[in-house]
Amino acid sequence: MAQKRKLQDKYFRQAKREGYLARSAYKLLEINKRRKLIKKGDRVLDLGCAPGSWLQVAEKIIGPEGTLVGIDLKPVSGGFGPNVHTMVGDFTKTTAAQLLGGEDELFDVVISDMAPSTTGHGDHFFSERLCQDIIDVLPDLLKPRGTCTMKVLEGETFPQLIRRMKNVFRIAGAIKPDACRDVSRETYVYGIGFRPSRVRVKDGSNEGALPEPTPGWGD
């Protein structure tokens, strides 16, 4: 237990020292270092952006030439630049036009550190379904050949999500960043080379097997 606490304290202290709003910043930093999902000048959408640490990381990467849009059920406060726009809302109830901010140009990258409101029972089902919901809307948001990363809690439905990611993206896989707590089941799926024509309604063979998700998402 002492070692786990030490790990948590390391990233917590580092975030405070370096000015990040949360330790989760280091998860995106590692993912992007390993897979180069976000690049300078990119147009990025952050789903479930509160408290704003992923916005901070993405803003630094894209620079002033890029554009960053974030949405969350909770308001986000922070000293972001003029090319960062945030809104309060549920992405599942927000139109693509609203997320695009009236622009015709789709996003180069979609990122999500969302987790469903946890119940302590079957949370991985809710998490996997949330990721599936994101994939379903990607054709309206993400450019062909775009990239994506999403948090998911590993469980028995995890292989289904990986299979779908590999079908929808040219390259796909999973990463568990060092900043993830050892006791956590969270990991991050990623996709490179989006193929929108391959996004289809999910296989209904297990329809009804998953419990209904709790509305919204948690931190």
CA distances from 89 to 92, 97, 216 (A): 9, 14, 9
Determine if the pTM surpasses 0.85.
Answer: yes
CA dist 12 and 170 (Å) reads 35
**How many helices (H) and strands (E) are present in the chain, helices listed first?**
6, 9
pLDDT in tens, 46-68: 999 999 999 999 999 999 999 99
Q: Is the per-residue pLDDT at 124 higher than 90?
A: no
Q: Tell me how far apart the alpha carbons of residues 123 and 126 are, in angstroms, rounded to a whole number.
A: 5
Q: Find the mean pLDDT for residues 156-175.
A: 97
Coil, helix or strand at residue 69: strand
What length is written for the chain?
A: 219
H/E element, 193: strand 186-194
At 6 the pLDDT is 53
Fold of 26-198+209-218: Rossmann fold (3.40.50)
Separation of alpha carbons 119 and 80, rounded Å: 33
In the chain, which residue ranges form alpha helices assigned H by DSSP? 2-18, 25-35, 53-62, 96-100, 123-137, 158-168
In this prediction, residue 215 carries a pLDDT of 39
For the chain, give percent helix, strand, coil, nearest 5: 35, 25, 40
Residue with the bigger pLDDT between 85 and 13: it is: 85
Average pLDDT of every residue of the chain:
87
**Among 105-109, 126-130, 200-204, where is mean pLDDT lowest?**
200-204
pLDDT-derived band of residue 9, with 50, 70 and 90 as boundaries?
low
Banded pLDDT at 199 (limits 50, 70, 90): very high
Domain ranges of the chain: 26-198+209-218
Instruction: Give the burial class of 205: count Cβ atoms within 10 A of its Cβ; 0-12 exposed, 13-18 middle, 19 or more buried.
Output: exposed
Is the pLDDT at 217 greater than 90? The verdict is no
Stretch 29-51: mean pLDDT: 97
* Residues noted as catalytic: 151
